Amino acid sequence: MNTLPAHFPILAALVAAALLIVIIIIGLLSRSRRQAELAVLHAERDNLNERQRQSDLQAAESARQIQTLQQHLQQAETELAAASALNRRLPELQQQLADSRSEYAELEQNARRLHGEYAAAEQQIRHLTAQAEELGRLKTDYAELQQQLAEQQIRNERLNTLLEQERQAQEEKLALLDNARDLLSGQFRHLADEILEEKSRRFTEQNREHLGRLLNPLNERISGFAQLVQNTYEKEAKERLTLENELKRLQQLNNRLHDDANALTDALTGSRNKTQGNWGEMILESVLEHSGLQKGREYIIQASGTQTQEDGHTRRLQPDVLINLPDNKQIIIDSKVSLTAYVRYTRAENEHEARQALAAHVQSVRQHIKELAEKKYSDIDGLKTLDFVFMFIPVEPAYLAALQQEPGLFQECFDKRIMLAGPGTLLATLRTVANIWRTEQQNRNALAIADEGGKLYDKFVGFVDTLQKVGRNIDQAQTAYQQAFNQLKSGHGNLVNRAHKLHLLGLKTAKQLDRQLTEEAAEAEPETSALPEPESGETENRG
């Protein structure tokens, strides 16, 4: 009745249907991914606006620092003017000392006044020394910041390297998955042929061995009976009784197996459709377990929802399985079992009974299609399903027989937004969905890495700007310190040399300037004649 070449167009149609389903799913996912990319672009625009605001704040901080530096400059100019005034007064004092010793008392009075100015200058020196210490600390902080900058650059390079390795790994995985899919398809067909051949061979060998185990003892016993029939009638009776008991036991076992098979067939083909439905759902759940999808997260069994009808009333629907897709989309699968007429078709004793049973089987499948289309699962509130629903037929031969008898049945289902699927077709589709989930997770990881890398780069740029600003401030402080210190110890009439000369004139002080500092100040104006050392007698008189 059924020839092998007749299945080839049906299998080709099934493969084309599976490819069409995959193309539709990938198209919908691509459209959702473009929407996600648009959202990412909006987020980047907001990030750029935030960075512009931070730049404005940094500009305001720079203006405030410039104002502070201008105030410091004005203070330094004031101190320079005071030092210049002091410089103008010192030549006058020298002239008074050279003209007359009689004016020494007046000079001593002026010296006391200058002593106060010297104390102020010494206070300024201590202040500048503190600034020098602060400068040293700033240099240390600057070195630490440079080290942190180098470490941050190394981490950034490692992150970029990891991102590139992850991208290459994903490309290699996708290529391996494509090769594995083609290889597994070929191996599956080859394995199916081997399994069928192996099953047939084993069945033949098992029947031969079983018959051999039954007939060989019988032949041996018959031979024994022929040899012993003349010797012992009693032994012949015992052997005959043993054979009778063995045959009865085998007959009872055969009857029990026959009854069990009939009970199972009656349970699946009887009037209790609930039993068939439970069996179909069990087969569907087994296919889901081998699909690679995770229960409760990527697919849900017996998920219920409400549907709002045109008259405003609601009804509750409960599809067998709800497959979740990326971008919050779903696929609905409902199991339908049509076995009663198909079993009659397989048990038909003539061509007429077979045609009648096969026509009834096709009509049963059509009735299931009609009932599924009337439920309108895709209109369940809150679901974003695809444009079709899968109708799962758990018995692959029954599924193929219906399509072979009625080739237009597939197009009829497609017009009603229903896709027929046997275990093989559904498993291939679910494996594709599982691969899409893996690709989606990899894409999410790549986006998260890119987002974290962008944030890290922005933080790094801000850190470099602040570090450069610290370096400029350190350079400015170093320049101001060097200028002020040079004004004290270098140049004609520098303050250190003049203060030291006052000390040599006999000022009473508790501290002395650093010897190296006074020598450097003296070398700065070699043309100036040294003041005379105070006479010991005069010093004693003052004492």
Which is higher by pLDDT, 68 or 202?
68
* C-beta of residue 312 within 8 angstroms of C-beta of residue 234: no
CA atoms within a 13 Å half-sphere pointing along the CA-CB vector of 367: 9
- pLDDT of 105 reads 66
pLDDT digits (tens, 9 = 90+) for 468-513: 787 788 778 778 777 777 777 777 777 777 777 777 777 777 777 7
**Per-position DSSP letters for 127-170, written without gaps between them:** HHHHHHHHHHHHHHHHHHHHHHHHHHHHHHHHHHHHHHHHHHHH
Averaged pLDDT, 295-308: 79
- pLDDT of 531 reads 47
Is 537 a residue whose pLDDT tops 50?
no
Structure tokens at 179: 């090769």
Averaged pLDDT, 287-300: 86
Give 80's pLDDT tier (boundaries 50, 70, 90): low
- pLDDT of 543 reads 37
pLDDT digits (tens, 9 = 90+) for 225-246: 555 555 555 555 565 566 566 5
Averaged pLDDT, 155-179: 65
pLDDT digits (tens, 9 = 90+) for 402-436: 888 888 888 888 888 888 888 888 888 888 888 88
Q: CA 307 from chain center: how many Å?
A: 36
Interstrand relation of 314-317 and 299-301 (parallel, antiparallel or unpaired): unpaired
- pLDDT of 2 reads 47
SS3 state at 117: helix
What pTM was estimated for this model as a whole? 0.42
- pLDDT of 399 reads 79
Residue with tokens 């219920």: 304
**Per-position DSSP letters for 486-509, written without gaps between them:** HHHHSSTT-HHHHHHHHHHTT---
Averaged pLDDT, 152-163: 67
Least confident of 37-41, 125-129, 372-376, 500-504: 125-129
Which is higher by pLDDT, 82 or 325?
325
pLDDT digits (tens, 9 = 90+) for 496-505: 777 777 777 7
Give 164's pLDDT tier (boundaries 50, 70, 90): confident
Is 455 a residue whose pLDDT tops 50?
yes
- pLDDT of 201 reads 62
- pLDDT of 211 reads 45
* C-beta of residue 10 within 8 angstroms of C-beta of residue 404: yes
Is 296 a residue whose pLDDT tops 70?
yes
Which DSSP letter does residue 252 get?
H
Distance CA 312, CA 397 (A): 43
Instruction: Choose the most confident range, by mean pLDDT, from 165-169, 216-220, 492-496.
Output: 492-496
Interstrand relation of 299-301 and 321-325 (parallel, antiparallel or unpaired): antiparallel
Residue type, 28: L
- pLDDT of 337 reads 79
φ, ψ of residue 296 to 5 degrees: the values are 90, -20
* C-beta of residue 442 within 8 angstroms of C-beta of residue 167: no
Structure tokens at 272: 């209790």
* CA distances in angstroms from 72 to 78, 132, 327, 501, listed in the order given: 10, 16, 61, 30
- pLDDT of 254 reads 47
Give 5's pLDDT tier (boundaries 50, 70, 90): low
* CA distances in angstroms from 188 to 9, 177, 179, 183, 285, listed in the order given: 19, 16, 14, 8, 21
Distance CA 146, CA 138 (A): 12
Q: CA 39 from chain center: how many Å?
A: 18
- pLDDT of 63 reads 67
* C-beta of residue 6 within 8 angstroms of C-beta of residue 404: yes
Give 169's pLDDT tier (boundaries 50, 70, 90): low
Give 222's pLDDT tier (boundaries 50, 70, 90): low
Give 258's pLDDT tier (boundaries 50, 70, 90): very low
Distance CA 481, CA 319 (A): 83
Q: Find residue 301's DSSP bridge partners.
A: 321
The domain spans of the chain are 174-453
Is 271 a residue whose pLDDT tops 50?
no
Is 368 a residue whose pLDDT tops 80?
yes
Is 259 a residue whose pLDDT tops 60?
no
* CA distances in angstroms from 174 to 13, 177, 263, 436, 444, listed in the order given: 27, 5, 49, 11, 16
Averaged pLDDT, 195-224: 55
